[in-house]
Each structure stands twice: as C-alpha cells, then as structure tokens.
C-alpha cells in the first residue's frame, strides 16, 4: 500500500506538471464534438439522439493521446527499469498509473459534457447519474489503456499502435457506456439504466483485476 501511494503521488505530480497537455487534449475533444455535430446537420432531434455516442467517441479518441504519453517520463533515461530495481511491486506501479489516467479521463469527460449540451441540445436533470456513468466508463478505458500504453511505449509508432490494440478490446465498455448515457439523456421508461450500469461495473472489475496481474509480465518483457 505504501508503494501504491508513493507511485500515485509521483504520477499525480507528473500530470500536474504537464497540465497544459490536458488543455490541448480537451481542445481536441471539443473540436471532435463540433465536427460530429456538423456531420449530423441542423436536425435537433438527430443531434440529441446521437449525443451520448459522440460524447464517448470524442472521449475515446482523446484518451489515446493521454494514454500514449502516460509512460513517456518512465521511458526517459530508463526510469521504469530503475523503479523495478528498487524493488517496486509492478502491480503498485500499474494501479498508480491507471488511477492517475482514470482521474484524467474522468475530468476530461466531465469537461466535455457542457460542450455536448450546447452543441447537441442534450441537457438532462439527472446530472449525478451521467457523472457516474462517465466515472465508470473512464475506468473501463483507463485500465486496459494503461496496460497497452506500457506495451506500446517502446514502439516508434506508439500513437498508431495503441489504438489498434486498445479499440477492439474496449468495444463492449464503449457500447455499455453509450447506452447508459443515452438512457440518462433521453429518458429510461423501461428502467434499463441499472442493468447497463451493472455491465459497466463488471467490465471494470474484470479489466482492473486482469490488467493488474498481466502488467508485471509486460514490463519485464
């Protein structure tokens, strides 16, 4: 637990020092939402109908930028190898990095919600429910995303390799997050929101458990 807190403190400091990058990623996500709205056209009903899907597509595309760079500092001067020689538990390093990425993606998703509301007329009074879905969806993206970011960190084309590895794996998470967000925004007359939320919780449990186990083998190889 001590190693986890120390690694988490390190990652939090690194993200604070590179906070300008988060602003750039937010700008990219907001621009993506704007472009998607142009693709739909001036149809208010269609815009609202697809708002949740475009929100998560925007967050997904933006996440590849933050995840791809999350191990940049560890790769410089072989810092990751130095951490493993301390010795440090690889699982502590993984969960610290994944939690830091989770927090960053959650903040990004929350920041994109007002942009979605303005562009897609997708306001809702169930704000806590929407924030909860964003938290769970961001967790489902960050857990495998952190693992694959570590796998692709030494590749020259890591920005290209990471999406190729990550996107097929997180399709179920993305579908569940889009469906849950749509139910929050458009209404839930059949009471399906809790079922989709449970599915997101299950994906988070599987990904966070399995990726933590596999991370040690990834960094050792």
Reported as a single tens digit per residue, the pLDDT across 31-40 is 999 998 888 8
pLDDT at residue 156, as a whole number: 67
Span 193-201, average pLDDT = 92
pLDDT at residue 42, as a whole number: 79
Asked if the model's pLDDT at residue 117 lies above 70, the reply is yes
**16 class by beta-carbon count within 10 Å (0-12 exposed, 13-18 middle, 19+ buried):** exposed
Question: What digits encode the pLDDT tens for the residues 132-189?
Answer: 999 999 999 999 988 888 887 766 666 678 888 888 889 999 999 999 999 998 888 8
Residue 116 to residues 58, 122, 132, 160, 183, Cα–Cα distance (Å)? 10, 7, 17, 27, 15
CA 29, 30, 35, 36 torsion: positive or negative? Answer: positive
Asked if the model's pLDDT at residue 45 lies above 90, the reply is no
Question: What digits encode the pLDDT tens for the residues 2-26?
Answer: 666 666 666 666 666 666 777 888 8
- Both tokens assigned to 126: 């169930």
Instruction: Answer whether 22's CB lies under 8 Å from 108's CB.
Output: yes
Cα distance between residue 195 and residue 202, in whole Å: 11
Beta strand segments in 31-155, E? none
Span 116-126, average pLDDT = 83
pLDDT grade for 203, boundaries at 50, 70 and 90? very high
For the chain, what is the domain count?
1
Asked if the model's pLDDT at residue 77 lies above 60, the reply is no
pLDDT at residue 6, as a whole number: 63
More confident residue, 194 or 20: 194
């Amino acid at each position: 637990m001590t190693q986890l807190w120390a690694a988490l403190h390190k990652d939090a400091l690194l993200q604070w020092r590179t906070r300008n990058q988060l602003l750039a990623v937010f700008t990219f996500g907001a621009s993506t939402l704007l472009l998607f709205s142009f693709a739909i056209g001036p149809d208010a009903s269609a815009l609202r109908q697809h708002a949740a899907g475009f929100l998560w597509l925007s967050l997904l595309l933006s996440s590849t930028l933050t995840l791809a760079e999350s191990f940049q500092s560890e790769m410089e001067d072989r810092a990751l190898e130095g951490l493993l020689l301390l010795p440090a538990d690889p699982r502590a390093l993984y969960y610290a990095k994944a939690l830091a990425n989770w927090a960053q993606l959650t903040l990004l998703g929350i920041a994109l919600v007002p942009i979605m509301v303005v562009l897609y007329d997708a306001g809702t009074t169930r704000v806590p429910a929407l924030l909860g879905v964003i938290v769970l969806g961001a967790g489902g993206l960050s857990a495998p995303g952190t693992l694959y970011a570590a796998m692709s960190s030494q590749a020259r084309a890591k920005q290209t390799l990471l999406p190729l590895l990550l996107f097929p794996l997180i399709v179920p998470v993305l579908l569940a997050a889009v469906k849950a967000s749509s139910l929050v925004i458009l209404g839930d007359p059949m009471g399906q929101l809790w079922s989709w939320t449970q599915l997101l919780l299950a994906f988070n449990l599987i990904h966070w458990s399995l990726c933590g186990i596999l991370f040690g083998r990834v960094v050792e190889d």
